[in-house]
Structure 1
Amino acid sequence: MIEFPPLPIDLPWNLPTYLLLDGVSVPNLAKHLHKWDNPAYNLYQTTRWQDLSDISPYLIALKGANDPLLSYFREHAAQEWGYLLFSNANVQTLWDHWRHLLTVKHPSDVEVMPRIADPAVMHQLFGLAEQASSARWFGPFAHVCLPDGVETTWWQHKRPDPAIAEPETYRLSDQELTALGEVEFRNFVSGLSEHLQTYFPDFMTTFTEPERRRYAQKVADDAYQQGFASEQEITLYANVFGYLAGQPVTEHPDILQLLTLSTPDAPLKRVERAAELAESRAADRQGSLL
């Protein structure tokens, strides 16, 4: 497991401190919270999503820097379960703020549910609000601290002071949509890294743990540059290199042609064929070792 750094030393512990945890990222979150006596507030309670309370985000009051729940959260920081928030406002105000943001408007005017307890998502949104000197997303919170399991670091954002008032109705901006798209691709790359470790474990053991994620990122970037844009196409592209297990693709001209030369065939068809050929070469290689 990658060792995560300690929390930043300059956090404002003089303010009341909270955790916002993601019920999607932490299975059986409510059950886990019973181990501690911290006040915990289910954001889906009494809303139209109350039947989905098992995946609800929870706002949890902490008892300062030495809270056992905080220690448990820090131990699992790389898993990005949620993040720290600091505010002098009363709990009802904080609860109301997040419940107001359970849904926001897409530019196309449809209602969407942002992952408000996801550190990767909110790092982007808080950062854009800071740049705009806006209280957008911060609401009554003065300071937030979010773990980043990819960069193995903590990000901090401060509510601008003075700040442009928080909007009454939230509509995602083009900048925010672009940032959320980047988060989606980031998460896909993390999943691709896990996929490669699952299906090509011998090959992936040639990389250190930090190198594996970087390798998956490079493969995804290369695939995109070659015109393979969908998640399925990029995964098949990665499979080619998993099957080749470090062999240069230049040693397989037929596979190289499928990956690099545009043909009348659709990209998906080309990369599927390339993966089939690479799998066949891997089987032949394995057979010759028996």
Structure 2
Amino acid sequence: MSRAYLLLDSCQIDNLQARVCELAPGSRPHFLYLMTQYAELAFYGPLLVAVQAHSPLAQAFDAHWQATAGIWLESDADEERLIKHLRSLIHVRVEGDVSVLFRYYDPRIARLWLQDLAAGERDRLMGPVSLIRLPEGDLHRKGLARVGAEYAHVPWLTLDAQQLEHLGQAGREAVLQRVQAHCQQFFPAYLDGLDSAGQKQWASACCCSAERQGYSAVDDVMRWVSVYGHFGDTFPDGPDHTVYRQLLASRDGSPKERLDKLLAEFKRQLVCAEIAS
């Protein structure tokens, strides 16, 4: 008999264990990093918990988490076997024989990773998982259930450079969505008159502008939105941007501190302009 589970991202859901216990009393959540070399990060990693359709936990997943913070999966395998296989996927080997953590439980990554694979390869990777429900459409195992793999300190799964670049699309899409949402909430005038495609293009240009100045972290890009939206794509190379260029070029303080000073100067100039008018 098939059972349903949620594989949730503790990094994206505040107080996840407490939330699960509140929404599904008596449930037995499993932290996949436990019993691995990443055990000290267990409460920041993926959590697996059985779920019933239409339950409070299922409703919370549908309402808040399914787009970015976890996947719904189904399996008719023994729960212990399922956990072993899912735990085996928490890290992968990449070029240079380096091991890295693998956030396959992000629905955007799961889709990019599995949807275009040949049926046999997808079945091998899904192992005892028969179905993964994603917002863009379900992923099914085509053949019989596989026994699946088990965790080892050296990952059995490898990803080449092309696969990594493909999966990186999920991260880029997530940043663009956050930039758009941030701008819509705090600086809606910057997006006036732009359709969905135009807003995405604007967000992409904003990210590129920030990256050219050495700011690629999501929090830094969010702060860059205000000055980029005000000055446009010429910032900080326009004729009236000298003071900003000087602040960015300064080697006093950390990059974050230089950005703090730039934003403080930007606010000061806005206040002066308002007073002058």
TM-score, normalised to structure 2, is 0.71
RMSD: 4.5
Cα distance in structure 2, aligned partners of 1:197 and 1:114: 31
Instruction: State the shift of 1:80 in Å.
Output: 2.2
Out of 211, 215, 229, the position equivalent to 1:242 is 229
Output aligned runs, 1:79-158, within 5 Å.
80-130=68-118, 133-147=121-135, 154-158=136-140
CA contact under 8 A between 1:135 and 1:166: conserved in structure 2?
no
Out of 55, 60, 63, the position equivalent to 1:67 is 55
Q: How has the CA–CA distance of structure 1 residues 97 and 77 changed in structure 2, closer, same or farther, with 3 Å as cutoff?
A: same
Out of 196, 199, 206, the position equivalent to 1:215 is 199
Q: How has the CA–CA distance of structure 1 residues 78 and 86 changed in structure 2, closer, same or farther, with 3 Å as cutoff?
A: closer
- Quick one: which amino acid aligns to residue 110 of structure 2? M
Out of 135, 141, 161, the position equivalent to 1:159 is 141
Residue 40 of structure 2 is matched in structure 1 by: 51
Out of 247, 254, 278, the position equivalent to 2:239 is 254
SS at match of 2:134: strand
CA contact under 8 A between 2:92 and 2:159: conserved in structure 1?
yes
> Identity, % of aligned pairs?
21
Q: How has the CA–CA distance of structure 1 residues 212 and 280 changed in structure 2, closer, same or farther, with 3 Å as cutoff?
A: farther
Q: How has the CA–CA distance of structure 1 residues 115 and 248 changed in structure 2, closer, same or farther, with 3 Å as cutoff?
A: closer
CA contact under 8 A between 2:184 and 2:191: conserved in structure 1?
no
Cα distance in structure 1, aligned partners of 2:176 and 2:207: 12
Cα distance in structure 1, aligned partners of 2:203 and 2:240: 15
SS at match of 1:142: strand
- Quick one: which amino acid aligns to residue 58 of structure 2? L
CA contact under 8 A between 1:27 and 1:55: conserved in structure 2?
no
Cα distance in structure 1, aligned partners of 2:209 and 2:158: 32
CA contact under 8 A between 2:104 and 2:110: conserved in structure 1?
yes
Question: What whole-Å deviation, never above 9, does each CA across 1:42-91 have from its counterpart, x for those lacking one?
Answer: 2122223333232131111123x222211121121466221111111111
Cα distance in structure 1, aligned partners of 2:69 and 2:190: 29
Residue 172 of structure 1 is matched in structure 2 by: 159
Instruction: State the shift of 1:175 in Å.
Output: 3.1
How many residue pairs get aligned? The number is: 256
Cα distance in structure 1, aligned partners of 2:21 and 2:146: 39
SS at match of 2:157: coil
SS at match of 1:254: coil
Cα distance in structure 2, aligned partners of 1:31 and 1:164: 33
Alignment partner of 1:193 is 2:169:
no
Instruction: State the shift of 1:284 in Å.
Output: 4.7
Residue 255 of structure 2 is matched in structure 1 by: none
Structure 2 gaps, min length 5: 150-154, 250-258
Residue 19 of structure 1 is matched in structure 2 by: 6
- Quick one: which amino acid aligns to residue 254 of structure 1? P
CA contact under 8 A between 1:249 and 1:255: conserved in structure 2?
no
Structure 1 gaps, min length 5: 1-13, 148-153, 257-264
Instruction: State the shift of 1:228 in Å.
Output: 3.3
Residue 30 of structure 1 is matched in structure 2 by: 17
Question: What whole-Å deviation, never above 9, does each CA across 1:198-243 have from its counterpart, x for those lacking one?
Answer: 7xx2x326758x9689625424247649993854499487443323
Residue 204 of structure 1 is matched in structure 2 by: 188
SS at match of 1:137: helix
